[in-house]
Amino acid sequence: MTEADIERRVQALLQLANHEKTPQTEAETALAMAYRLMMKYDLNEGDLAKNSASPKSEPQIEQRRYETVGPYRVRRESLRVRILSAFSCASYRDFYEGDNITVVTHAFGLSVDLHAAEVLYAAAEMLAIRMIPWGDRGFRTSWWYGFTDGVTEKLRAERKKVEKATHGVAVALRDRESRAAAEMRRLAPDLIKLPGTGATWEDAYHEGRQASSAFSTGGRSVGGVIGALPRGK
């Protein structure tokens, strides 16, 4: 199967998933099939072939900038960061560049990883928007915590399956993570770690975890670097 064939099949699956008349269960299945197809191709033709490539032929780490606006933008940005990490990308939130209505995230990774993370994030966000329950802001914020943690756990489980099934994948993914983190630190040497905050509504958190169980993917890697630029830097 050629790269053009892969792209056509993925696009067809995504169009089916995003069609307003596609039932939710069918949409989730179509998205999962698209992700698995993308990741299988990338692993077969990219990561595993990399062992025989010379350093000069290695694809370069790229930097991309994302803006998250609208309701629950901090929670949605956290979901994006987790998914970027799942694709061996490093990222940080730029407090200096952002403001009260915009959350700015800078991500570093291979082009194929960044693209896959963008597609996966769009799908996970769509699923969250469909499933988020009624409630006040505190309840829904806690739901987002649960949903994000649930997605993260599923990606970690998928990584373990892929690493066990294919020789050399774990080493290749760690190499991608290391290169992305090194490039991020080179361009943003003043990064600091920020402590996380816990959920405030236990019921909402567990509902979010349950909602994330509907999310299906062929995930690859979790464990990238997450950070933030301190205010005023």
Give the CA distances from residue 36 to residues 40, 143, 151, 205, in Å, rounded to whole numbers and listed in that order: 6, 27, 16, 28
Q: For 40-62, how does the pLDDT look when each residue is reduced to its tens digit (9 = 90+)?
A: 666 554 445 554 444 446 789 99
CA gap 197, 62 in Å, rounded: 30
Q: For 124-176, how does the pLDDT look when each residue is reduced to its tens digit (9 = 90+)?
A: 788 788 778 888 888 899 989 988 888 777 777 777 777 787 788 788 888 98
Give the CA distances from residue 154 to residues 74, 205, 209, in Å, rounded to whole numbers and listed in that order: 21, 16, 10
The amino acid occupying position 128 is A
Name the more confident of 231 and 57. Answer: 57
| Least confident range of 99-113, 120-134, 204-218 | 204-218
Which position has the token pair 């299906």?
216
Q: For 69-87, how does the pLDDT look when each residue is reduced to its tens digit (9 = 90+)?
A: 999 999 999 999 998 998 8
Q: What 3-state class would DSSP assign to 192?
A: strand
Average model confidence (pLDDT) across the chain: 76
Domain spans in the chain, listed from the N-terminal domain onward: 61-229
> What pTM was estimated for this model as a whole?
0.75
Q: How confident is the model at residue 25 (pLDDT cuts 50, 70, 90)?
A: low
Summarize the confidence of residues 11-27 as an average pLDDT. 73
- Single out the residue of 165, 146, 57, 68 nearest to residue 107, CA to CA: 68
Q: What is the pLDDT of residue 214?
A: 65
Q: What is the pLDDT of residue 227?
A: 57
- Which run of H or E residues covers position 109? strand 102-109
